Amino acid sequence: MKRRALLQGLGGGSAALIAGAMTGCAMPGGSAKAKVVVIGGGYAGATAAKYLRIWSNGGIDVTMVEPNPAFVSCPLSNLVVAGMKQMSDITTPYDNLTKRHGVKVVRDMVAGIDTKNKRVKLAGGSELPYDRVIVSPGIDFMYENLPGMESAAAQSQIVHAWKAGDQTATLRKQLEAMPNGGVFAIAVPPSPYRCPPGPYERASVVADYLKKNKPKSKVLVLDPHKDVVAKGKLFKAAWAEKYKGILEYRPNHKLSEVDVKGKTLKFEFSDDVKADVLNVIPGMKAGAIARNTGLANVSNRWCDVDFLTYESKVVPGVHVLGDSVAATPGMPKSGFMANQHAKTCAAAIVAMVQGQAVPDHPIFANTCYSFVDANEACHVSAVYAFDDGKKQMVKVKGSGGLSPDTNRTTAAYAEAWAVNIWADMLA
Amino acid sequence: MKFGSAAVIGMAFAAGALSMAPAQASDLQIKMWASSCASCHGTNGNAQAPMVKLAGADAKATLEALLAHKRGERNGTIMHQIAKGYTDEQLAQLADYFAAQR
């Protein structure tokens, strides 16, 4: 009788589920399975959802809320912008998270989180109770700091394409429609921003597309920084070798205003730039749901977390992963990093639920590939370990490095990495 | 569990005692370390080519390769950079972990 009741509570299932539920029963305060709600199905959210399921042997009930019907990767999306890949090449469905791992995927937006009563409120009206909630919404853009770009109309005309999906396709179409001899101007955002080498990669592969198809055209890289912030030597060498007369890099260009109608970028101290296709990537902040839940305590933009568990330092029981997390020295915002945050967090939550010690020495790697044309890429890598004194992830001395140059082998590995990480997240 | 004192114990084991159960880092900790490798080598090391499959790989061979990368003795594109981020005993624990995966 008791066993039947337990099975009914589980909804029937395998021995693995029963085993998981037994450990779940050991959790103080409840006999039901622990429930985790994951907000956002990106590099962090999808990874967290999957790993919570596999590491708990199904003992944790996981629901992931994501508005998009499928996962579209920002990494490699620059190749779609440049016409070297299609949207389908960077799109992966969420199905296997459910079919193989039992993650409930809910297609919706989160309207709010009632952290007192532990309920996630969905825009569609329903509510999801939770024991722990993971907030991994990615980034939002600070258009409020960019006169001329405040309206929805402006933002749909001059796109960022810094969240892969419709805007990736829009920017591609704009470049296809650009006449030979046209100018593509890309405004690099101020730091910290998602994917430090990303804008330079985009400029490079678009330059390759233009060189091969519209050779009289120009690429202008307008950068608020005083120099290229990531893989600088490698990018500049590639530009000198491949794009002389096509790509021009202008540092110390702080964007102050955009004249949308006149297709002109205006800067503090520097001359205006008029272009045919403008790609304005504004300054960034944590995704809205993180900020609206009071998690973004660093300059009202980023969320402080405990780096062993990714639990918010502001609101207990709420974990923040990915780009929304407040950066610490040397820790870039990237999909690869988000995937690492997620695994650290999943291990911590599984430990907490099972009454085990939270692992106290996370170590993880980061590798970032950048294409410079259709065939060549470079990389930068690092290994980080938890520093007991600083209570942060700190680069392990002597680890990591750059590729010696841009080459075809690295491009092949970049493609292989993408296939593998998407499978790691979603298969 | 303090990692510092555990590492001292670990070093005594590391020299050649590959099949010995690691006394220091917890199973969950090692699992978490190994999951970082999954970002390129697939969940549990089930990589899609050309990334090297680690699941079920011979522990001794994996460790030898990792140590060779760490010492710069092996031509690599990236593994020499990654291997240098781990202690020899952590690499041994990872090699053992992946050998047991399917």
Q: Is the pLDDT of residue A255 over 60?
A: yes
Q: Do B29 and A361 touch (CB under 8 A)?
A: yes
CB A78 within 8 A of CB A202: yes
Q: How many residues does chain A have?
A: 427
Q: Are A2-67+107-140+285-357 and A144-283 equal in CATH topology?
A: yes
Q: Do A385 and B78 touch (CB under 8 A)?
A: no
The whole model's pTM is what?
0.90
Return the residue of A nearest to B34 by Cα.
A364
Considering only A127-141, A392-406, B11-25, B41-55, which range has the smallest mean pLDDT?
Answer: B11-25
Q: Do A347 and B31 touch (CB under 8 A)?
A: yes
Q: Do B85 and A367 touch (CB under 8 A)?
A: no
3-state class of B17 per DSSP?
Answer: coil
Is A44 an interface residue toward B (CB < 8 Å)? Answer: no
Q: What would the pLDDT profile of A55-107 be if each residue is shown by its tens digit?
A: 999 999 999 999 999 999 999 999 999 999 999 999 999 999 999 999 999 99
* The three-state (H, E, C) secondary structure of chain A, written as one string: CHHHHHHHHHCCCCHHHHHHHHHHHCCCCCCCCEEEEEECCCHHHHHHHHHHHHHCCCCEEEEEECCCCEEECCCCHHHHHCCCCCHHHHEEECHHHHHCCCCEEECCCEEEEECCCCEEEECCCCEEECCEEEECCCEEECHHHCCCCCCHHHHHHCCCCCCCCHHHHHHHHHHHHCCCCCEEEEECCCCCCECCCHHHHHHHHHHHHHHHHCCCCEEEEECCCCCCCCCHHHHHHHHHHHCCCCEEEECCCEEEEEECCCCEEEEECCCCEECCEEEECCCEEECHHHHHCCCCCECCCEECECCCCCEECCCCCEEECHHHECCCCCCCECHHHHHHHHHHHHHHHHHHHHCCCCCCCCEEEEEEEEECCCCCEEEEEEEEEEECCCCEEEECCCCCEECCCCEHHHHHHHHHHHHHHHHHHHC
Q: Given CATH 3.50.50.60, say whether it is the number of domain A144-283.
A: yes
Q: Do B43 and A424 touch (CB under 8 A)?
A: yes
Q: Do B85 and A385 touch (CB under 8 A)?
A: yes
User: Rounded distance, CA A230 to CA A258, Å?
Assistant: 26
- Which residues 360-419 of A have a C-beta within 8 angstroms of B? 360-365, 367, 379, 381-385, 388, 396, 398-401, 403, 409-410, 412-413, 416-417, 419
Considering only A190-194, A211-215, A276-280, B18-22, which range has the smallest mean pLDDT?
Answer: B18-22
Instruction: For residue A399, list chain B residues with Cβ-Cβ distance below 8 A.
Output: 81-82, 84-85
Q: Is the pLDDT of residue A271 over 80?
A: yes
- Comparing CB atoms, the residue among B31, B43, B81 nearest residue A381 is B81
Average pLDDT, chain A: 94
CATH architecture of A2-67+107-140+285-357: 3-Layer(bba) Sandwich (3.50)
Q: Span A240-264, mean pLDDT?
A: 98
Q: What would the pLDDT profile of A9-60 be if each residue is shown by its tens digit?
A: 444 444 433 333 334 444 454 558 999 999 999 999 999 999 999 999 999 9
Q: What would the pLDDT profile of B23-82 be if each residue is shown by its tens digit?
A: 468 999 999 999 999 999 999 999 999 999 999 999 999 999 999 999 999 888 999 999
Q: Do B26 and A385 touch (CB under 8 A)?
A: no
Confidence of residue B14 (pLDDT cuts 50, 70, 90): very low
CA dihedral A182, A184, A185, A191 (to 10 degrees): -170
User: Which sequence spans correspond to the domains of chain A?
Assistant: 2-67+107-140+285-357, 144-283
Which domains are delineated in chain B? 3-99 (1.10.760.10)
- Comparing CB atoms, the residue among A364, A401, A423 nearest residue B36 is A364
Q: How many CB contacts within 8 angstroms connect chain A with chain B?
A: 121
Place of tokens 């329903």: A126
